[in-house]
Amino acid sequence: MTFAWPVALVGLVAVPVLAGLYLLSARKRRRDAARFANPALVPNLVPAKPGWRRYVAPILALASLALLIVGVARPHVVRSVARDDATIVLAIDTSRSMAAQDVQPSRFDAAKQAALAFLDEVPDNYSVGIVSFATSADPVLPPTTDREAARSALRELRLGTGTAIGAAITRAVDLALDRPGGRERPKAGQPSPAAVLLLSDGAQTSGDVRPGPAAQRARRLGVPVSTVALGTGDAVVEVPRPGGLKERVVVAPDVPTLRQVASTTGGTFSAAPDAARLESVYRELGTRLARDRKRVEVTSAFAAGGAVLLLVGGTLSSLWFRRAL
């Protein structure tokens, strides 16, 4: 919790001071009463002692004062709130290794099916763009709220060769920030209402841009990149060789790189070794990307709490002792 006017918290010193003065006043009342009456006769004059009830109203009043003082300091908390407007770019690996069938019916088909389910989780007013990457990274669909266009773009994806993860991050970030509406890019270090969701099943084999520098740039621009490592470590694909030969190549996801990209940019990393887990990851990320963490002022909550405590204390005191406090 942070405060816009922290100097106001100095007023909290008054709470223990007032508590001490109340205790001294109560002790003085008992001494004064003992001067004018025999303590042994008090039970005959007063039907019942107030006991613990005499302290309830003062305690509530002091608690109310503390809450009101904190409210004056204008407290802020970080909360997860729904975004009014956002752009999400899906960066989907279309390299040859995505043909591996350790994820049924294949990594590629499972990725497209899960992405289609992801579109159902994203609020209708959010723009969604698509980048496919193999040897290079190419924008397939600029950010749009047209979900049918996004579904058509996903169905038209085709496999290629190579894996350019760094280029995919760079192109996806650029596409996310060049969103419609004429809004300017955020300054370095400032958050933006944009996010990238990158799915890959292999290590970088193509492109001049390495994943590390691309992730650092995304962080400077305030765009989180969430990553999904698809597949298992023992899957194989057949790669054509000269002379009509084919070579069986093991294709394992580069988990360390994808995890580091997510960590650097403030995104999340998930491993999806099968189709069911992949769809679950997409749905979870769709919900998460639809929310943002913002500093929210909660002065009204403290003010309301203080007023309620004061009202309760006054009501109980009136019922028990026929006085406000």
In tens, the pLDDT along 183-242 reads 445 444 445 578 899 988 777 888 889 999 999 999 998 899 989 888 776 666 665 666
At a CB cut-off of 8 Å and minimum separation 6, what does 65 contact? Answer: 14, 15, 18, 306
84-98 confidence digits (pLDDT tens) = 667 889 999 998 888
Identify the residue whose tokens are 């989780």. 121
Give the dihedral sign, CA 217/223/224/226: negative
Is the domain of 73 the same as that of 12? yes
CB atoms under 10 Å from CB of 17, counted, come to 10
For the chain, what is the total number of helices (H) and then of strands (E)? 10, 11
Is the domain of 207 the same as that of 263? yes
Give residue 140's Cα distance to chain centre: 28
Is the domain of 73 the same as that of 88? no
**Rounded to an integer, what distance in angstroms lies between the CA atom of residue 111 and that of residue 95?**
12
CB atoms under 10 Å from CB of 182, counted, come to 5
* Contact call for residues 72 and 5 (beta carbons, < 8 A): yes
Q: Residue 240: what pLDDT?
A: 60
Q: Which domain holds residue 71?
A: 2-78+297-321
242 in helix, strand or coil?
helix
Q: Residue 210: what pLDDT?
A: 92
Is the domain of 7 the same as that of 108? no
Q: Residue 295: what pLDDT?
A: 76
Token pair for 91: 């960066």
296-306 confidence digits (pLDDT tens) = 888 888 899 98
Is the domain of 316 the same as that of 237? no
Q: Residue 180: what pLDDT?
A: 45
Residue range 128-133: average pLDDT? 94
CATH number assigned to the domain comprising residue 195: 3.40.50.410
Q: How many angstroms separate the first and last alpha carbons of the chain? A: 32
Q: Which amino acid makes up residue 73?
A: A
* Contact call for residues 164 and 133 (beta carbons, < 8 A): yes
Is the domain of 153 the same as that of 247? yes
Q: Residue 34: what pLDDT?
A: 58
Token pair for 60: 């509530």
Strand partners, 81: 292
* Contact call for residues 170 and 214 (beta carbons, < 8 A): yes
* Banded pLDDT at 1 (limits 50, 70, 90): confident
What's the domain count of the chain? 2
288 in helix, strand or coil?
helix
**Rounded to an integer, what distance in angstroms lies between the CA atom of residue 137 and that of residue 172?**
8
Interior angle at CA 153, CA 149 and CA 155, nearest 5: 120
Is the domain of 128 the same as that of 66? no
Q: Residue 231: what pLDDT?
A: 78
24-37 confidence digits (pLDDT tens) = 887 776 676 556 55
Identify the residue whose tokens are 């009342």. 29
Is the domain of 144 the same as that of 266? yes
Q: Residue 254: what pLDDT?
A: 82
Is the domain of 264 the same as that of 285? yes
Is the domain of 173 the same as that of 252? yes
- Which residue would you say has higher pLDDT here, 34 or 67? 67
Identify the residue whose tokens are 């298992």. 232
Average pLDDT, the chain: 80
Q: Residue 287: what pLDDT?
A: 65
Is the domain of 213 the same as that of 259? yes
At a CB cut-off of 8 Å and minimum separation 6, what does 56 contact? Answer: 313, 316, 317
Instruction: Give the global pTM.
Output: 0.62
* Banded pLDDT at 50 (limits 50, 70, 90): low
Residue range 5-31: average pLDDT? 84
At a CB cut-off of 8 Å and minimum separation 6, what does 42 contact? Answer: 33
Is the domain of 61 the same as that of 94? no
259-313 confidence digits (pLDDT tens) = 999 999 988 888 877 767 777 777 776 666 666 666 788 888 889 998 998 888 8
